[in-house]
Each structure stands twice: as structure tokens, then as C-alpha cells.
Amino acid sequence: MSQHVYTYQPLPAGRWFRQLHIHPGQLDDPIVCDLVNVAIDNAPPYKALSYVWGNPTQTTSITCAGVHREVTVSLFEGLRRIRSRDEVEIAWADAICINHSDNIEKAGQVNLMGAVYDKAAEVVVWLGEDTDAIAGTAFHGVTSANAAVRTGTQTVWNTVPGFNMTVGEGPNSYPVSVLKSTMPSILEDQHLDAIEKLYQLPWFTRVWVLQEVGLATRATAFWGDKFIDFSELVTFIHFGMSDEDLIKRLGQGVRDVLSGPPYYAFWNVWSTYDKKGGWVDTDPVLKAFTTVLAADCNIDFVLVLEASRRFDATNPLDHVFAFLGHPKALMPNTDGTLVQADYGMSLTELHLLVASSLAQQSLNFLVQVQNNTESLEPSHLHPSWVPQWHINDKSAPSAFWEAWDASLRISRQSSPVARLSGTELTVRGIMFDSVDLHTDTMKEKDFDRFHYGPGALIEQCWNLTESAAQSAPHVYGDDKAPLAFASTLTCDYRSSRSGSETDQALVEDFMQYADITNEDFYGKKLKRFGVTYRLIPMQQRFLGTKFHNYGSNRRFFTTKGGYWGLGPPLMRRGDVCAVLMGGDVPFVLRPTDDGRFRLVGQAYMYGVMYGELVTKAEMGEGTLGIREIRLV
């Protein structure tokens, strides 16, 4: 047997890739394979492997085209599972099929990788060996819980032992019963332990796997010798974050795991591919979710990039390159992607190139900026308006994704007028106000009811509005003040676009929540607004979650012109509030000495979110006007 180093045969120009032909064998037989150059548009059916490379120092040997070569143990184990016992299996695995020592080929294959997974007959997700023999338990728990929620059998009506009261009379009477969850009997403790370990597997933390599965027509996950339809794993993520009975049963440990990378993978990436006939499209539950998501959020490449911050990549350039196969990465009216993979460029060059390209479509990418004190200094070299997609600053507020329309970009289907000169971006916008008062940054711990509690935060914010009113009245009027306050702290918990009935429901929901979390303050300041019903636990949880998610790492603020808002943690008095044409939310800007501005961050401001100021400016109301704004 030859011991020479394997030499790759060059790929022809165009859409060519290598297929891996794995010779048949039993599980413990050596891996023997060949590589064949194939035009991807005429390729025979193949399976694409999605896996974590693993420790590069832990390798084992396979035979490829008669030559021994080392591969990681993780890849070796995955190839053993994908191999057929009686016929050649045609497959694709990036570590073998791409010549990673050739950066030019590597970049070309990365640009083609979306097509590789899109055209695969099946994507095999290799989660790793089942060293604790718990895969079967985990998969059984996942499928059983999913089935219960799908069929509505996660709860049943049970009579109360020793309680003999009945409803009705005669033959039409029936005993009083209560709704009881069946989840404790469906998901026993061993199921929960196994499920928690399942979603903690390294596969769920790597950035490349997001595209690999998202583009799949069919996907099957293997953990050791056990396997499951991948859609079941994703459906469990969805149900585990949305079904009340399942949420209660999972406990904090499993919920924390699901709400991390698995949830961002589903919400930001897998649900946004919209592949006809794909595993999401053919699953009724997942399809229904994606339909609702598309209606409620602005789904574009920016939303996809946001997920990359929650995942790991060996090369920071891959936080962008790993998503170039997403359909939203295509430039409008062209066949080209937003950028081309090039491992010779610097990280700063890549981020500036991506941001400037995105600016030609919309300014939504600005919500991903996570500036700190240093980056807002005039001497800092990195442009304040360019996100750094490889950094996940956990002290930064989450990005806004709701379908607001502050500049009327959505309703008018318009594109921004953005001009790049060096690292300066010139846009058009309305600078309409400046920051007056603000609270301290609301931290995660401040929302803990056993610490300060959300009720204390509500009190601080309301007191700030009263302090601001001593120097200038707010713009909302007494009749709209409760709605403006509730909407600001929950960022439209119930969209105010739906009319007066929904507006009143929002006010009542929020005031009841304030009563629950801070009874003394509610009685003194808010009770006069009235409450006509009590929140059910699900509503209380949902509203509290909204306040927590939107308020965390933000400041409540008032403006000199009388607006209220939630803004970035580094905002300060004198910062400018602006609506940028092409952006869907207002932004807080900091003036520089030369008439330019640094981007402090995104904001929610009641009365600004649906194009109100653009309409006023176009009608010539007041001093509002649309002008050029230079961001540095």
C-alpha cells in the first residue's frame, strides 16, 4: 500500500466539486474511498455529511485512492455511519472533498457549498458517538413530547379525588374536573437529562452546520447508532419555547439550553430558507411557524447574520462565509452573492464590504452594531456603523427584528440612498430630537423578581417621565400616555396597529402586570388607569418575557421634545434621535466636532415606529426635514 501524501486532482473551472465514493464494509472495517471530480449540476445522487471537525490532533487513518491519509476521529466516525454494507456510497464531506491547503480552491468551494447541500439527496447530521448510551432515551422523549403537543394530548381533564361536586342535573350532569398536564408521564427525569445533553452536543454550536442543514431537502440526525428525522429535533425546540405545558415540564436547565444556540439556529436560520420541498416546508408545524415569522419580521440576510454571533467558528471570516449559500445572500436582480468568499481579506475589510453592500438594500444591518465606550471615541479606527459579526457582546441589547416601518421603507418598497467614501457612509434621514433624561442601564439581574424585580424598573421609568414633564410636556397627551408607556416598555407587546380594542387590551395587560410586580407603586400612580380583568399566567409570562427581552441592557429615556423610548446602554444626554431612510427603527447618534455622527445604537420610540415623522416631514410640518447624515 502506498504511503505517499494524497495529491488532489485539480477541479475544472466552473461549478465542479469532488464526490467521495466510500467502498462498502462492516462498521469496524477500515474506511476505503476514492474522490471523483463531478460537475455539480449533473452529479449523481449523494449524501452530504454535516458534522463537527473535532480536535485536529485526534486523528485516524483512512485509505483514499490507495493512499493513507489522516482525518479527525469525528469525521472517521461519521463516515462509518454513512457507509453502506453492500454497495458504494456516494457522499460529500468538506474536510476530504476540498483541498484546504489551496486557499483559491477553498474560497471557490465555499462559494459553491450552498449548492452542494441544496442538491444533496439527503444531509446526514453526525452528532457524535453515544458514549453514555442515552441517544435512544433522548430521541424517544423528543418524539413523544412532539406527538403530544401536535395532537393536543399534552393535557387531559381529570376529576378531583374526594371532590364530588357536579355540573348540570339528571342524566346531563357530569363531575367537576380540572385540566392536568400529561407531560410528567411523557417526559420522565431520564428523558430530560438525556435531552439536555443532546442539545448541548458540540454540533449545535458550530456556525457551518446552520447552512448545511438549512439547505437540505431531507435531513437525518445520527447519535451513535440511533437516528431521528432532524425535523423532530427542531420541532421540539419550537414546542419547548412555545407550549406552556412542555415549558413547565422541561425545567430551567433544559430551557436554558434550548434558548441558546438551538433556538437561534431555528428562529434566525433554518426557518428562513423557504426551500420548496425541504424538511421545513413539508412539516406542517414548522411550515406554520415560518409563515407567521415571515409576516411578523423582516426576514433578510441581516437576520441570518445575527445568528452567527451565537455560534463558533475557527476562522472568524466564516461568520459571514458560512451563510453565502442562503438565498437571502443573493444580490437583488443578479445571480451573485453579497460578497465572494476570499480567505486573503482581513476581517475589517470583510465587515466593511458586507455592510456597504447591505446598505444598498436597507439599513436594517445597523441594528446589529454593538458599540462600546472605546469604539465610540472619535479616535477609534473601526467605523461605528459597521457591525463586527464575529463578536457576541452579551452586555449589548438584542437586535430589533419586528416589522416596524419608521422610514416607510417597507410600505413603499423603497431602497436607501447610501453612499460610501472610504469608511464614511452618507445616508439621508430626519434628526428630530435629542436625549434629555435616561435611567441607568437595565441589567438582566434587575428583572429577577427575587432581586429588584421588574416592578421596580417600571416604577423607575414612570418616575422619569414625571421628572421630564416638569420641564416640558410629553407629546402623547394624558389619554395616550398609558398606551405610550406600556408600548415603550414592551415594544408593542400587542401591536398598536390593530386598533383601539387592542390598544386598550395592551394597557390593561400592562397595568395588571405592574400591579402584580409592584402593588404599592401601582396603587399610588397607575391604578387610576383602571384594569377590567386579570392576566392569566400565560399572558403574565409572555408580557414579562417581552419586557425582559426588550428592556435588558437598554435604558428608558425621554427627549427634549417629549418622546419616550428604549435606547442603547451607552446613550447620554445630548445624543441625537434620528430616523434614517432605509431603516425600520429610529437610531441614537452622537455628534462629532466636524459635523459627522457616530452610531450609538437602535431605539424604540412610541409615535415614531410606523413612519409618522416621515409623513410629517414630507407635508412640511414643523421644522422636520430630510437631510444628508454622514456616519463614521
For residue 496, pLDDT over 60 is answered with: no
pLDDT digits (tens, 9 = 90+) for 376-393: 988 888 899 999 999 988
Contact 371, 385 (CB under 8 A): no
Mean pLDDT of the chain: 89
Q: Beta 32-39 vs 59-64: how paired, if at all?
A: parallel
- As a whole number of angstroms, the distance between CA 420 and CA 631 comes to 10
The neighbouring-strand residues paired with 601 are: 588
Dihedral angle computed from the Cα positions of residues 198, 91, 88 and 76, in that order, rounded to the nearest 10 degrees:
-50
- As a whole number of angstroms, the distance between CA 474 and CA 433 comes to 13
pLDDT digits (tens, 9 = 90+) for 202-249: 999 999 999 999 999 999 999 999 999 999 999 999 999 988 889 989
Radius of gyration of the chain (CA): 28
Nearest alpha-carbon partner for 370 in 432, 309, 317: 309
The residue assigned the cell 407550549 is 243
The residue among 157 and 527 whose pLDDT is bigger is 527
pLDDT digits (tens, 9 = 90+) for 335-358: 788 899 999 999 999 999 999 999
Q: Report, as an integer, the average pLDDT of 399-418.
A: 88
pLDDT at residue 161, as a whole number: 55
- As a whole number of angstroms, the distance between CA 362 and CA 272 comes to 18
Task: Give the lowest-confidence range in 283-297, 438-452, 561-575, 584-598.
Answer: 438-452
